[in-house]
Amino acid sequence: MSFQAYLDAVETKTGRTPRQILDLAAERGFTADSRAGEVLEWLKSEFGLGRGHGMALVHVLRNGPVIGDRHVGSTGSHRDESTELWLDGAAAREADRPNG
pLDDT tens readout for residues 66-89: 988 887 878 877 788 888 999 998
Domain total for the chain? 1
Q: Tens digit of pLDDT for each residue in 48-65?
A: 999 999 999 999 999 999
Range of the domain at 49: 3-71+82-96
**Rounded Cα distance, 71 and 84, in Å:** 12
Domain membership flag for residue 76: no
**Rounded Cα distance, 74 and 86, in Å:** 19
**Residue 32, phi then psi, degrees to nearest 5:** -60, -20
Domain membership flag for residue 16: yes
pLDDT band at 97 (very low <50, low <70, confident <90, very high): low
Domain membership flag for residue 77: no
Q: Which amino acid is it at 15?
A: G
- Classified as helix, coil or strand, 65 is coil
Q: Which amino acid is it at 10?
A: V
**Rounded Cα distance, 52 and 85, in Å:** 16
